Chain A
Amino acid sequence: MRRFTRLFLELDATTATGEKLAALEAYFRDAPPEDACWGLALLTGNRPKGAATTSVLRESVLEASGLPEWLLAECHAAVGDLSETIALLLPDGAGNADEPLHRTMGDRVLALVGASEDDKRRIIRDAWAVFGPAERLVYHKLIRGGFRLGVQKRLVTRALASVAGIEPDVMAHRLIGRIRPTAEAYAALMSPEQAADDAARPYPFFLAHPLEGNAAGLGAPGDWAAEWKWDGIRAQLIRRAGQTALWSRGEEPIAHQFPEIAAAAAGLLDGTVLDGEVLLWRGGRDGGPLGFAALQTRLNRKVAPTHQLDLFDETRAVLVAYDLLEQAGRDLRREPFEDRRAALEEVITALGDETIRLSPLLGASGWEELAAVQASARERGAEGLMLKHRRSVYGVGRTKPGDTPGWFKWKVDPYTVDAVLTAAQPGSGRRANLYTDYTFAVWDRTGEDAALVTFAKAYSGLEQDEIERLDRWIRSNTTAKRGPFRQVTPEQVFELGFEGLQASERHKSGIAVRFPRILRWRTDKPAAEADTLDTLRALLEAHRA
Chain B
Amino acid sequence: MPVKTDLIVPTDRGLWCEAGGFYIDPWRPVDLAVVTHAHADHATPGCGRYIASANTAALMRSRMSGIGEAHTPAFGEPLRLGATTVSLHPAGHVLGSSQVRVVPEEGPTWVVTGDYKVEPDPTCEPFEPVACDVLLTESTFGLPIYRWGDTLAVFDDLNAWWRSNADAGRTTVVLAYALGKAQRVLAGLDASIGPIGLRGALHGPTGVYQEAGIVLPDWIHANATNAPELKGRGLIVCPPSASGTAWIRKFRGKGGIRTAFVSGWMRVRGRRRWGSVDRGFVLSDHADWDGLIDTVRRTGAKRVGVTHGSSEALARYLAEREGVETFVVPTRYRGEGDEQDGVQGPGGAA
Contact = CB atoms under 8 A, between A and B. Distances in A.
Partners in one complex: yes
Interface of A: 12-15, 65, 67-68, 70-71, 74-75, 78-81, 84-85, 88-89, 92, 137, 422, 444, 447-452, 454, 479-480, 487, 489
Give me the 6 closest cross-chain CB pairs, A-B, nearest first. A88-B145, A479-B270, A75-B145, A74-B313, A451-B244, A448-B256
B236 to A, nearest CB: 14
A489 B275 CA distance: 11
A294 to B, nearest CB: 33
Contacts of A451: 244, 275-276, 347
Contact of B270 (A79, A448, A450): A79
Interface in B308-350: 310, 313, 316-317, 320-321, 347, 349-350
Contacts of B257: 448-449
12 contacts: A13-B273, A70-B316, A78-B268, A79-B145, A79-B269, A81-B269, A85-B145, A88-B144, A88-B147, A89-B144, A422-B349, A451-B244
A81 B256 CA distance: 32
B346 to A, nearest CB: 9
Contacts of B147: 88, 92
A79 B320 contact: no
Contacts of A71: 143-144, 313, 317
A15 B320 CA distance: 43
Contacts of B270: 79-81, 479-480, 489
A448 B256 CA distance: 8
Contacts, number: 75
A137 B268 CA distance: 12
A337 B218 CA distance: 69
Contacts of A450: 276
B268 A79 contact: yes
Contacts of A67: 144
Given A12-B269, A79-B145, 17 more contacts: A13-B279, A15-B276, A67-B144, A68-B320, A70-B316, A75-B143, A78-B268, A88-B144, A89-B145, A92-B147, A444-B244, A448-B278, A454-B350, A479-B270, A479-B271, A479-B274, A489-B270
A88 B268 contact: yes
Interface in B256-284: 256-258, 267-276, 278-279
B342 to A, nearest CB: 14
A75 B276 contact: no
Interface of B: 143-145, 147, 149, 244, 249, 256-258, 267-276, 278-279, 310, 313, 316-317, 320-321, 347, 349-350
Contacts of A452: 276, 349
A422 B350 CA distance: 10
Nearest to A79: B268
Nearest to B149: A92
B45 to A, nearest CB: 29
A74 B276 contact: no
Contact of B310 (A13, A74, A479): A74
A52 B321 CA distance: 30
Nearest to A80: B270
B144 A65 contact: yes
Contact of B269 (A65, A84, A447, A454): A84
A245 to B, nearest CB: 37
A119 to B, nearest CB: 28
B143 A78 contact: yes
A476 to B, nearest CB: 12
A78 B264 CA distance: 14
Nearest to B244: A451
Contacts of A68: 317, 320-321
B273 A74 contact: no
Contacts of A14: 278
A15 B273 CA distance: 9
Contacts of B272: 13
